[in-house]
Structure 1
């Protein structure tokens, strides 16, 4: 026994470390609150919608527009419609990869027990649940180095598997992975690690695999890429939260990012000195990992996204991408230890040993029980129950839901026919709004469940504004009901042929950014505001500057709402002021009373071009 342990201790320790770090529930079922703020249904709705789209064979990039792909359920762990063996196979893939990476890290270390201790610390600080795309990126970087050192078919296959999973799970990390894979092939060609013919064959085979998977998973790659680019472009402009609540946390993240960048800067200098040019490449890969992780954290600056940085940033230090002599490796190990210590000191959770132990044990017990209970998992249909008289009206008819409560339609077994960007708060740009408007015109639902709601202090009617205008012109209020303590409107389509909305241009004007723009009888206004060089640099390094839209009403009062350059350019309905279900109903019935008299922008003008362009429209049918 002692001889066996002595011979296989690295395997044993690596396996135990994998058991420690593997910390995900076997499945989740979104908790859908029956009452309270409608925002509580936001995350459960998009999570269950991903599964719904996969089950009903929606085409990603056409029928559904989102940055999460058809394998998004592997990140959310939502079990709706997914066989249990799919989760088991994916988890085995993750476990095997973790084992290989951990074993490799220990074997390549000059001080093996120090490496074991550092891996143990990683297992303590890393939270696997909710960060699967970054875990896949971690595997991708590791296998890129393995492929560089040993360009064989097995390493190619595993790397392409990781890239494919990342691509169809969440497009952001998947696209970056494809770019890095292509850059790696160029590096290997330049350093004569691979012949041109072989590189072409491997890249071609990888492309065929991705195209085949796209076909099997109903993904229009072009539409998937373009739509996701639009979402990301709009997201960074408006999704930050206006608060100094996490100012200290963000400062800590910036310090950690700078510390890592200093390490990779030192590695680049050392690589140039010793002509190890592959180290420059892999230092660049590591920097991209950290920059993207930080950008995600500060773009939606809430605790969940900050936690993802604290949890995942140290992963990149364990990929083993730098082959150095024993002396330099000793310094790398010490730096890794210093970084993890700093990470623990900065961790705002400040968990006690007992709480920490429970956080590692309870998910494993939950995982085991989840396997046993999978076929008897709960549903949430009683948490979003639609009154019987409304269900009878909807029977046999197609239904869409505004602004986002897909879970309501799915749990009540409605014939759900959603817009491609199924959450109106995500229609950040004009292109995304046009996609939804075109869907409503060509494939209109018979009924809509409509609730006037938004997030982050925005003006709800400007979320998916063109769709809102189309609805007001083509639907009538058939009923209303309470869902929990919130009123929901039941809208019914007028007739069989929808009426397209026409936007007739009146004129284009130029204003100073600080000027007040009077409505002057316009129905719809677009404002084109552009960042200057300082603003673009600030957006790249941090996040977009906040823009507030100030509306002056006909009674002299002023209302201030959060907006963005993309949303302003998409256009705003200004013929009436709508602030809830009651005024929306009045607008549909042509009885709206409150008017908007002028608009103005409130922002840090130093970050924007001094003049704005205003385009006025009248709306007709």
Structure 2
């Protein structure tokens, strides 16, 4: 008996206990996320409904997430919990593989405790793809140093997984993988057969999974690149600074410490880096990975994003530290890591030290009746989003979409969801995306009904009506007003016409004016469409790449002389918008009843903003009618 006891005790070495503890911290705190309503919950439901409806990703459904996005959202609708459990088993196994090497390489009990701390802090505002990306970076570096084919195989598989969960980061992972493979060929000519084999395997598996998961790969990538290109322009936010300035500037100050530390490291160490050729790849990938985390945190600046530049950033630096060979660089990078470690407890993540961060996984399973919890949540949402039964009867056997973003109405009323490709209007923020939606809504496959709500803006001062304006144009052209009903929101219901109206354009004009100049753009009783071209200045372009683009504001004067200031999104106004007022339920009903005869915006004035934009602006506009 004593021998058995001693044997068990001997197996529970400190590093094994820490590995187990780290895995428990890493696993999700809840097995599933119940479907609900709102901006983010709606697109999460939409992924699962798209799979259920057999839609083609990249063609029928265009978003930053892909057909395996449910592994990140953890919404089980139509999918079940089995894929989620299998995914957790896989990632836990990869984490154990990584930590075994990490703890042996560190060989220091004090350093070991840093690992579970960073895992704990990063997973409380976690995103599955960033967790996988962190694994991916480690495995690439591990193969780079050890030539472990198992690590390369895992890295290849994880990059494919990321590609079908969230494409924007999947593209980045694929590019890093390809660079790594060809770097290996360049440094070791004998390895070319193995590296080309892994390249071919990556392409083959991606292609086959694309077929299995109903993905139009070309348009899937094209759509994602379009979203990525203008994400900065449309989705950046200064609300955090305006509403909680003390927290915001405190985090900016901490980020400045990190940026200065990294800058000092690279500038001071540049001669050594140039001599240590084998370390250059690791340092460049580390810096790029941190930059992605920084952009993730500070583009849409808010509490939830702070884990990316600080805690994931610390992990990227720590991973690079493990694999740097030059002793001077290793020591200096260790000092950089210590700065990350020192400032990270002070980061304002919205959780605060009062929140118990050390929690066990799957609490919804362990401490509640999961099935009962789901039933209660479902019933609550079905009551909240209930559409009048008499009106819902008209949807029977028909297809439905929701504008601008409350897709939850289709799910909780069991409607046949038939979305426009760019599924939420705030996300259709450039000409490519809103044109996809226009083509859908004017095609034979257009949804039979559209539910329109005047929900609040995704950002303060963002004018919702200007988002996805070509969808609005298509609704006037191909739909008739049907009725208004009250559910959680007031819904304007429009019904597809038997025959689309012909769009007539009249009185076209081209205008050239300057920032700060007020111009006449429309008249009372005119439905005017305008496309405005505003260019960033050099400073604006630099800020767009480094952190956030500058804010462009526009002062709109209505036909009655009243004025309002909006945040103008340059890719959105370039795609075009109607010069009309639509902000209330009454205005929405009148707009669809009369095909756009709302109060006109008669004058526009684009306001100066810290030299972020070029002074010269051009616009093309014309009046719209329907026959």
* Both structures adopt the same fold (TM-score exceeding 0.5): yes
Specify the alignment match of 1:514 in structure 2.
Answer: 516
Distance 1:373 1:269 in 2: 61
1:619 aligns with 2:624: yes
1:581 aligns with 2:616: no
Check conservation: 1:547, 1:602, Cα contact below 8 A. yes
Specify the alignment match of 1:315 in structure 2.
Answer: 315
- Deviation of the 1:517 alpha carbon: 2.1
Local SS of the residue matching 2:511: strand
Specify the alignment match of 1:604 in structure 2.
Answer: 609
Structure 1 pair 139–562 and aligned structure 2 pair: CA distance change class (3 A): same
Specify the alignment match of 2:93 in structure 1.
Answer: 96
Structure 1 pair 266–231 and aligned structure 2 pair: CA distance change class (3 A): same
Local SS of the residue matching 2:394: helix
Distance 2:126 2:521 in 1: 46
**Structure 1 unaligned blocks of 5 or more:** 33-40
Specify the alignment match of 2:577 in structure 1.
Answer: 572
The 5-angstrom pairing of residues 336-351 of structure 1 reads 336-347=337-348, 349=350, 351=352
- Deviation of the 1:555 alpha carbon: 1.5
Specify the alignment match of 2:495 in structure 1.
Answer: 492
Distance 2:508 2:344 in 1: 57
Check conservation: 2:303, 2:349, Cα contact below 8 A. no
TM-superposition CA deviations, 1:91-132 (whole Å, max 9, x none): 0111111112222111112x4212212223223422255321
- Deviation of the 1:312 alpha carbon: 2.1
Check conservation: 1:24, 1:367, Cα contact below 8 A. no
Q: 2:143 aligns with which of 138, 144, 147?
A: 147
Structure 1 pair 215–151 and aligned structure 2 pair: CA distance change class (3 A): farther
Structure 1 pair 28–176 and aligned structure 2 pair: CA distance change class (3 A): same
Structure 1 pair 439–57 and aligned structure 2 pair: CA distance change class (3 A): same
Local SS of the residue matching 1:306: helix
Specify the alignment match of 2:416 in structure 1.
Answer: 415
The 5-angstrom pairing of residues 189-208 of structure 1 reads 189-192=185-188, 194-208=190-204
Stretch of structure 1 that moved more, 188-197 or 544-553: 188-197
Local SS of the residue matching 2:323: coil
Q: 2:465 aligns with which of 451, 454, 461?
A: 461
TM-superposition CA deviations, 1:304-335 (whole Å, max 9, x none): 12344344222213425524377875665565
The 5-angstrom pairing of residues 154-553 of structure 1 reads 154-192=150-188, 194-243=190-239, 244=241, 245=244, 246-263=248-265, 269-273=271-275, 275=276, 277-319=277-319, 321-324=322-325, 332-333=333-334, 335-347=336-348, 349=350, 351-352=352-353, 355=354, 358-361=356-359, 363-368=361-366, 373=371, 378-379=377-378, 380-442=381-443, 443-453=445-455, 454-456=457-459, 457-484=461-488, 486-494=489-497, 496-503=498-505, 506-520=508-522, 523-553=528-558
Check conservation: 1:441, 1:499, Cα contact below 8 A. no
Distance 1:558 1:376 in 2: 47
- Deviation of the 1:422 alpha carbon: 1.4
Distance 1:365 1:595 in 2: 53
Check conservation: 2:529, 2:577, Cα contact below 8 A. yes
Local SS of the residue matching 1:200: helix
- Deviation of the 1:162 alpha carbon: 0.8
Local SS of the residue matching 1:490: strand
Specify the alignment match of 1:37 in structure 2.
Answer: none
Structure 1 pair 238–254 and aligned structure 2 pair: CA distance change class (3 A): farther
Structure 1 pair 369–93 and aligned structure 2 pair: CA distance change class (3 A): farther
Local SS of the residue matching 1:559: strand
Distance 2:52 2:327 in 1: 53
Q: 1:73 aligns with which of 70, 73, 81?
A: 70
Distance 1:271 1:370 in 2: 54
Local SS of the residue matching 1:359: coil
- Deviation of the 1:436 alpha carbon: 0.2
Stretch of structure 1 that moved more, 6-15 or 222-231: 6-15
Structure 1 pair 584–311 and aligned structure 2 pair: CA distance change class (3 A): same
1:24 aligns with 2:29: yes
Check conservation: 1:427, 1:463, Cα contact below 8 A. yes
**Structure 2 unaligned blocks of 5 or more:** none
Check conservation: 2:306, 2:348, Cα contact below 8 A. no
Distance 2:361 2:139 in 1: 28
Structure 1 pair 593–303 and aligned structure 2 pair: CA distance change class (3 A): same
Local SS of the residue matching 2:298: helix
TM-superposition CA deviations, 1:379-401 (whole Å, max 9, x none): 23233111111111222222111
Check conservation: 1:24, 1:129, Cα contact below 8 A. no
Check conservation: 1:250, 1:306, Cα contact below 8 A. no
Structure 1 pair 329–237 and aligned structure 2 pair: CA distance change class (3 A): closer
TM-score (norm. length: structure 1): 0.90
Count of equivalent residues: 604
Structure 1 pair 325–231 and aligned structure 2 pair: CA distance change class (3 A): closer
Stretch of structure 1 that moved more, 399-408 or 143-152: 143-152
Local SS of the residue matching 1:343: helix
